[in-house]
Structure 1
Amino acid sequence: MSSSDAFENDICPIKDDLLGAMYRASEHGLPQLIASVAPDVRAMLALFCYRRSHLHALALAVASSCTERDLIVLGGRVGSTLFALSRNARQPHVRSPHGQRKPITLSTRPLSTYVPLDDLADDEEPALVSA
């Protein structure tokens, strides 16, 4: 399979094991893994990761090692945008998909309560009671 086929068919251009290693790599180990990939495949990998929100940080890290020409040839406007974003990125590679998420808070009381049906006359509609 050629490099362009992988991009057009939206197939990851590297083996799953290497992608997983990059995703889990520390900020300091990631550059060595990226350097082990050919420049044109790196550009395809950056574009592949950019189309997946959970891999955006990895896409920026990979794209920062690509030339603008490679990204534009393979990705057009998206490649150009990715190149610019990768040069402006100030964030380190995020190791965990949960690292950037905001905490979830849950209510400790019911959102609403209803008047019990036993207390209503036959022709009355149930009313919503604010808590």
Structure 2
Amino acid sequence: MLPSSNAFDGDSCPVGDELLGELYRADANGLPALVESVSADVRAMLALFCYRRKHLHALALAIASTCSEHDLQQFGGRVGMALHAQSRGGRSSPAGASSSRKPISLSTKPLSVIKPFEDDLDDSLEPFTA
């Protein structure tokens, strides 16, 4: 099943900033009460919204664990189905990702040395006039 046509349009958060902040700051004991205060369809959209952001991935899994597979599939298609499986202890990494990946390190040195530009123009020549 394909996701609904508006599932990814604008990619806006389905809840207000204040509630999203409360969800983000909530501990394991307070999170279920906050999640239950949101309707099932908004909860599914919120789980998908958070899932698309790496820093909110754990929150997405917690929210998705309270959603039905039907709701997640309705709003997210295959992604919703994968999120449902992950939230219930299925695959813990996206398809194709290897759990033995090495962390990325960035170089602290310049990649190449750039030679200074040398101006070889003859200063004795007069400017061109037409």
- Shorter chain as normaliser: what TM range? 0.5 to 0.7
Greater helix share, structure number: 1
Higher RCO, 1 vs 2 (CA within 8 Å, ≥6 residues apart): 2
Q: Is the 8 A contact 1:6 1:12 kept in 2?
A: no
The count of corresponding residues between Structure 1 and Structure 2 is 88
Mark the CA change 1:81 to 1:53 in structure 2 (over 3 Å): closer, same or farther. same
Q: Which residue of 1 aligns with 2:22?
A: 21
Gap regions ≥5 residues in structure 1: 90-110, 112-131
Residue number in structure 2 paired with 1:45:
46
Q: Distance in 2 between matches of 1:6 and 1:77?
A: 12
Secondary structure of 1:88's aligned partner: coil
Percentage of matched positions with identical amino acids = 64
Unaligned residue ranges in structure 2 (runs of 5+):
91-108, 110-130
SS in 2 for 1:8: coil
Moved over 6 A (4+): none
SS at match of 2:77: helix
Deviations along 1:69-102, one digit per CA (max 9) or x if unpaired, are 000011000000000000017xxxxxxxxxxxxx
Aligned-partner Cα distance in 2 for 1:30–1:19? 11
RMSD, matched Cα: 1.9
| TM-score (structure 1 length as normaliser) | 0.63
